[in-house]
Every structure is written in C-alpha cells, then in structure tokens.
Amino acid sequence: MLPFFADIIAPLLSALQSPAVVEIGSEHGKLTRKLCELVAPWEGRVHAIDPAPLFDADVWTKDLAPTLAVHRAKSLDALPAVDGFDVVLVDGDHNWFTVLSELRLVERLARERGAAHPLVLLHDVAWPYGRRDLYYEPESIPEQHRQSWARRGISPVSSELLPRGGLNAHLANATHEGGPRNGVLTAVEDYLKETQVEQTLTIVPAAFGLAILLPATLAAEKPAALELVRPWMSTAVQGFLEKMETARIAMLTQAG
Ligand SMILES: C[S@@+](CC[C@H](N)C(=O)[O-])C[C@H]1O[C@@H](n2cnc3c(N)ncnc32)[C@H](O)[C@@H]1O
C-alpha cells in the first residue's frame, strides 16, 4: 500500500484530520511509521493489526507513543478491540472470505457503536489477487469458503498456477483465477451488493490496485475528500494507469 501514501492516503487523511486510523497488515511497518508521523500533529492514533509484524512492536510502540497501538492478532479478532476507526486500510490476508468478513465487521461495529461508517481503502484489488485468493494460513479459512490452493507461482497469461517460477511461488495461491468467492475485488463487489451504507467504489489500477470506498455521508460532510478521490474516477486516468500496470506486470513477470 506504500506506493499510494504520498498521492492518495496522506492527502485524504490530512483532509479528514482522521483521529483513528486502522491498518490491517503492517508487515515491516513501512506504511505504519509514515501514518504515525502524519497523524501525530493532530493527535491522531494508528492501530496496526498484524498477527506477525516484522518490526519490534514493543520498541515501536514506545518510540511512537502515544500515536501507535500494535494489535498482534488477526483482523477479525482485533477489530472489536479497537475502540473507534475513521479510516481503515485493508492489506492483510488477501482472500475473499477474510476481506468480505473484514468489511462486514467494520460496518457492523460502526453501526452498533452509533459511529459514522469509515473511509475504507483496500490494496490488491487488481492482478494478481483481485480475482485470486491468497492464504497466509489456509487451514484457518473455513473449508467451504476456501479455493483449492498450492504453493506455486502466478502468471498474468494463465489462470492456472505455473509448474515452476512465476510470481509469489512461495505463497499459498488459489489454483485458478476468477469465478465466485475468489479474490479481493470479488469480496469488495459482493460486499457492495449487501451493504446498508451508501458508498462509492473507485479503483486506482496501479501498483496491484487500490480500492477506495467513500461513504456518501462522509463525502457530503467533507467535500475535500470527494475532491481528492474525483481525479482517480476519470476514465482517461484509469485507462492510462491500466496500460502502465499491464506493461509493469509484463516486465515484472517477464511475460512478454
Ligand atoms: C502485504 S503485507 C502488508 C504490507 C503493508 N501494509 C505495507 O504497505 O507495507 C500483509 C501483512 O498482513 C499480515 N496478515 C496476514 N493475515 C492477516 C490477518 N488475518 N489480519 C491482519 N494481518 C494479517 C501478514 O502477517 C503481513 O505482514
């Protein structure tokens, strides 16, 4: 999600002066630290949720006090313990079941607390995980919601995983791309069919894809946020970014 910080995430958080930001999936904490530095001047708080962060959570929590709270747990266990959230960044376990469950839980918690529905940004809504599940821990996903999977690499020119090589060959990837209940974008679309919150979906088709779910009430209350999202809605911008992303992925995977 880091590539989106300067041009999308930071301007949006600054416009909203977001008091509470949740980051699902922190890994090395590169984005976490930037988020903390950004929100500290207005006394914002960053909740980093990751069952296995690759930074020293205790040291960082002290260094970045009182801004950072690290939750060493999976998103679905940790979210209820976060007392409030204005912006949620979703970049954890990239599969249909987890992402749909996260979106449902965020909506339910906000509603139960009588809080405004947050702005939600999700990474990996384009290739390779927009239409293909990835499992950090396949056995933790209920069997009926899990695709067949293998630790083999992905190619942009075939739905099937490659016998050798390919992208992310060390990860547990769904063996096929597409179809129902498969991938992060499919989860977002399925969520939008059932949500009770009016919101718009904008996709930035670059750097593996970013989805911006902007609630209508927030757009009405903070027109500056809508103005920051609007340029990314342009079909010309989207078409150009899609071409650049296809070329980048071809180079990345040496597919042609
Ligand atoms: C792609 S990395 C996140 C990268 C980070 N957001 C950034 O921009 O630098 C995914 C992270 O999600 C974490 N993760 C996996 N399953 C998770 C879950 N159910 N809830 C929260 N985090 C999870 C992994 O441990 C990993 O560190």
pLDDT tops 80 at residue 95: yes
Ligand 1 geometric centre to CA of 215 (Å): 24
Map tokens 């974008």 to a residue.
185
131 half-sphere exposure, CB direction, 13 A CA radius: 11
Q: What is the pLDDT of residues 6-20, one digit of tens each?
A: 999 999 999 999 999
Q: Is the pTM of this model over 0.75?
A: yes
Q: Which domains does the chain have, with CATH numbers?
A: 2-131+180-253 (3.40.50.150)
**Bridging pattern class, strands 134-135 and 172-174:** antiparallel
Nearest atom of ligand 1 to the alpha carbon of 50: 22
Map tokens 């992905």 to a residue.
154
pLDDT tops 50 at residue 256: no
Sheet (strand 119-123) strand order = 68-71, 45-49, 20-24, 87-90, 119-123, 210-215, 199-204
Ligand 1 geometric centre to CA of 237 (Å): 29
Question: Would you state the pLDDT for residue 119?
Answer: 98
* Mean pLDDT taken over the chain: 97
